[in-house]
């Protein structure tokens, strides 16, 4: 399932909150004909994005 960040989140360099991710999951589930989503999926994706952002920032600090 592809979850796209809203454009303003990318431009402002903000991570989406759980409500935004949950809403996007619901729309994506509906588009694919699924009946619903699990809250654990939202938590997992939010954590993965946060960890990736921290790792990316850490790697950039070594590039300097």
Provide the pLDDT for residue 4: 59
Number of domains in the chain: 1
Over 60: is that where the pLDDT of 59 sits? yes
The band of 12, judged by pLDDT with boundaries at 50, 70 and 90, is low
Which of 5-9, 27-31, 42-46, 60-64 ranks highest by mean pLDDT?
A: 27-31
Q: Report phi then psi at 61, rounded to 5.
A: -70, -25
Q: Confirm whether 53 is domain-assigned.
A: yes
Range of the domain at 47: 38-64
Q: Confirm whether 45 is domain-assigned.
A: yes
Over 60: is that where the pLDDT of 22 sits? yes
Q: Confirm whether 22 is domain-assigned.
A: no
What is the rounded CA–CA span in Å between residue 51 and residue 32? Answer: 27
Q: Do the Cβ atoms of 3 and 25 come closer than 8 Å?
A: yes
The band of 51, judged by pLDDT with boundaries at 50, 70 and 90, is confident
Q: Confirm whether 14 is domain-assigned.
A: no
Q: Confirm whether 56 is domain-assigned.
A: yes
Q: Do the Cβ atoms of 35 and 14 come closer than 8 Å?
A: no
């Amino acid at each position: 399932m592809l979850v796209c960040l809203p454009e303003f989140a990318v431009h402002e360099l903000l991570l989406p909150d759980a409500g935004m991710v949950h809403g996007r999951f619901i729309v994506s589930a509906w588009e694919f004909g699924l009946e619903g989503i699990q809250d654990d999926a939202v938590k997992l994706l939010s954590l993965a994005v946060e960890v990736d952002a921290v790792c990316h920032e850490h790697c950039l600090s070594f590039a300097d």
